[in-house]
């Protein structure tokens, strides 16, 4: 409050992160009539949910239910979408916050770019950079959109792989510039710091998937046909790099083994917690294998099955009825015999060690805090316990202890999509209460 007794809180919110949590929180806050600055560090919003094929237990197509929301964000007059931007500082000022946002140079004028993609096709490095969105299964150009439904549908030049930006030269002339009919390519762009004033902050920075090279016994780094669940999602997706076919090179896939709890419930890797989503996404993936490869033999190696949500146990029943063999035992290692992978485990119900042949092994990697969670916590001055820590585990699930800063989604802990959406709506409600109170005072 200032000395006239009026609130100094700007009727606006900052939302950090443009995954489903940030999208939902932004839409709710903006729908309530407050201004929203949605900051996303990647070139597009959409987050992890955009990468997924189907969702459990209803088998809704993930991008089909997500895309209407991303489009709504783009069109919403109350939301200022700042993609390819990073929050550099959040300072409490009066009752609100002063925020510094770095807009990274895209080297593409977004007011001119029509998203036609001719630049990417023309680029000398076309098809030679691993696509992050496709988990490295497909390739992209250094000038790219992460995926066809990207919002905004504007191209970005990746400074780490563009020949000109890394080496200072790219042939005699810029092929992207020549190809662009809109004259949108601009190598002169520089980063820009934007200052914002907001009354509330919603942190929706998401999670990182567990890095399976930390469990070297599974040979993820050695064997091409040991993949993560996210890679499987890209293989299964009809709009993915294999058009939905489960294929890995020339190999015919007959035996598929899923391994649960990779990097979850595991003190050896410092993740004692359950990631909450892997049991069900694995059940869904087992279903997808049967749908796409009806003759495949699917084995799911598990310790316990946690099917606790609405419709979850029923879905688990269905997947087993389809023929997925749930075998109790946490496998210890994967080795190669000839050109066949062998998963070694104890079937604890038989009480016998077993060697299970596999053409494809899918690791159900768990959720981890973002690598930069700690520095983010310091910048925002909020507590963390690996993930960001809620103010009270029961009564304050979105608060942080710092007035005006709220948590949404998996930055607070592992959650599935429905829980994330609910959590994000709760964070939005908390932010709106604060903004509405401030507005009432100014009237």
Partner 1 sequence: MQIQSRQFARDNKLFACIQCGKCTGGCPVSFKTALNIRDLIYQILATGRQGFEVSGIEVLWDCTTCNTCTARCPKEVSPMDVVIGLRGAVVESGRIPETVKVALESTFRQGNPLTFPREDRAAWAKDLELKAYPDGAEWLYFVGCSPAYDPRVQKVARALARTFEAAELDFGTLGVEETCCGSETRRLGEAGLFEMLVEDNTELLQGYGVDNIVTTSPHCYNTFVNDYPDQGMEVQHYTQVIAKLIAEGRLTFSGELDKAVTYHDACYLGKHNGIFDPPREILQAIPGLKYVEMDRSRERSLCCEGGGGRMWLEGTNIEERLAYQRVDEAIETGAEILATACPFCLLTLEDAVKTRGKEDQLQVMDIMELVVQAL
The residues that touch partner 1, with contacts defined as CB under 8 A, are: 216-217, 219, 222, 261, 265-268, 303-304, 328-333, 335-336, 344-348, 351-355
- Closest distance to partner 1 from the beta carbon of 331 (Å): 6
How far apart CA 167 and CA 187 sit, in angstroms, is: 13
Please say whether the beta carbons of 35 and 15 come within 8 A: no
Q: Would residue 349 be called left, alpha or beta, if left means φ above 0 and alpha means ψ between -120 and 50 degrees?
A: alpha
In sequence order, the 6+-apart residues with CB closer than 8 A to the CB of 119 are: 108, 141, 143, 155, 176, 177, 179, 180, 185
- Closest distance to partner 1 from the beta carbon of 403 (Å): 39
Rg (CA), the chain: 23
User: Which residue lies nearer to partner 1 by CB, 332 or 374?
Assistant: 332
For CA atoms 273, 276, 277, 278, give the dihedral sign: positive
- Closest distance to partner 1 from the beta carbon of 267 (Å): 5
- Closest distance to partner 1 from the beta carbon of 306 (Å): 13
- Closest distance to partner 1 from the beta carbon of 329 (Å): 4
User: Which residue lies nearer to partner 1 by CB, 206 or 329?
Assistant: 329
Please say whether the beta carbons of 73 and 79 come within 8 A: yes
- Closest distance to partner 1 from the beta carbon of 98 (Å): 45
Please say whether the beta carbons of 69 and 27 come within 8 A: yes
- Closest distance to partner 1 from the beta carbon of 276 (Å): 16
User: Which residue lies nearer to partner 1 by CB, 239 or 340?
Assistant: 340
My answer on whether omega of the bond before 152 falls inside 30° of 0, hence cis, is yes
Taking CA atoms, 185 is separated from 2, 38, 340, 433, in Å, by 46, 25, 48, 43
User: Which residue lies nearer to partner 1 by CB, 138 or 307?
Assistant: 307
User: Which residue lies nearer to partner 1 by CB, 241 or 366?
Assistant: 366
Pairing type for strands 367-369 and 207-209 reads antiparallel
- Closest distance to partner 1 from the beta carbon of 245 (Å): 28
User: Which residue lies nearer to partner 1 by CB, 221 or 395?
Assistant: 221
User: Which residue lies nearer to partner 1 by CB, 323 or 353?
Assistant: 353
Pairing type for strands 384-385 and 387-388 reads antiparallel
State the residue for tokens 């200052």. 195
User: Which residue lies nearer to partner 1 by CB, 273 or 297?
Assistant: 273
User: Which residue lies nearer to partner 1 by CB, 331 or 404?
Assistant: 331
- Closest distance to partner 1 from the beta carbon of 327 (Å): 10
- Closest distance to partner 1 from the beta carbon of 262 (Å): 10
User: Which residue lies nearer to partner 1 by CB, 161 or 225?
Assistant: 225
User: Which residue lies nearer to partner 1 by CB, 336 or 392?
Assistant: 336
User: Which residue lies nearer to partner 1 by CB, 116 or 335?
Assistant: 335
How far apart CA 404 and CA 425 sit, in angstroms, is: 15
- Closest distance to partner 1 from the beta carbon of 370 (Å): 23
- Closest distance to partner 1 from the beta carbon of 349 (Å): 9
Pairing type for strands 35-39 and 12-16 reads parallel
């Amino acid at each position: 409050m200032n000395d006239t007794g009026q609130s100094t809180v700007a009727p606006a919110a900052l939302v950090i992160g443009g995954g489903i949590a940030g999208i939902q929180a932004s839409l709710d806050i903006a729908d309530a009539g407050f201004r929203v600055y949605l900051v996303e560090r990647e070139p597009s919003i959409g987050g992890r949910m955009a990468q997924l094929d189907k969702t459990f237990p209803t088998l809704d197509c993930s991008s089909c239910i997500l895309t209407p929301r991303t489009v709504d964000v783009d069109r919403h007059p109350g939301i200022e979408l700042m993609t390819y931007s990073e929050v550099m500082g959040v300072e409490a000022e009066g009752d609100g916050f002063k925020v510094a946002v770095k807009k990274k140079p895209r080297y593409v004028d977004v007011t001119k770019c029509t998203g036609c993609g001719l630049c990417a096709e023309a680029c000398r490095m076309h098809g030679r950079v691993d696509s992050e969105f496709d988990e490295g299964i497909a390739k992209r150009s250094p000038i790219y959109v992460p995926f066809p439904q990207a919002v905004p549908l504007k191209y970005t030049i990746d400074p780490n792989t563009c020949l000109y930006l890394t080496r200072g030269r790219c042939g005699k002339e810029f092929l992207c510039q020549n190809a662009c009919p809109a004259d949108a390519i601009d190598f002169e762009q520089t980063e820009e710091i934007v200052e914002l004033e907001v009354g509330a902050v919603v942190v929706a920075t998401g999670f990182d998937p567990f890095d399976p090279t930390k469990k070297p016994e599974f040979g993820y780094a050695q064997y091409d046909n040991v993949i993560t669940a996210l890679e499987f999602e890209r293989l299964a997706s009809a709009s993915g790099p294999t058009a939905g076919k489960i294929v890995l090179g020339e190999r015919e896939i007959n035996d598929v083994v899923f391994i649960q709890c990779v990097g979850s419930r595991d003190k050896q890797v410092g993740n004692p917690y359950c990631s909450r989503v892997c049991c069900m996404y694995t059940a869904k993936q087992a279903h997808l294998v049967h749908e796409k490869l009806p003759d495949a033999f699917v084995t799911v190696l598990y310790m316990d099955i946690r099917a606790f949500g609405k419709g979850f146990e029923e879905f688990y029943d269905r997947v087993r009825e389809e023929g997925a063999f749930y075998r109790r035992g946490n496998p210890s290692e994967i080795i190669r015999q000839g050109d066949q992978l062998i998963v070694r485990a104890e079937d604890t119900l038989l009480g016998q060690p077993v060697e299970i042949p596999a053409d494809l092994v899918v690791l159900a990697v768990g959720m981890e805090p973002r690598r930069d969670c700690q520095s983010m916590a310091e910048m925002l001055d909020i507590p963390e316990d690996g993930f960001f820590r809620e103010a009270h585990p029961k009564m304050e699930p979105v608060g942080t202890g710092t007035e005006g800063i709220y948590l949404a989604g998996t930055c607070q802990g592992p959650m599935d999509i429905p829980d994330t959406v609910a959590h994000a709506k709760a964070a939005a409600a908390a932010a709106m209460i604060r903004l509405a109170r401030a507005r009432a005072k100014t009237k």
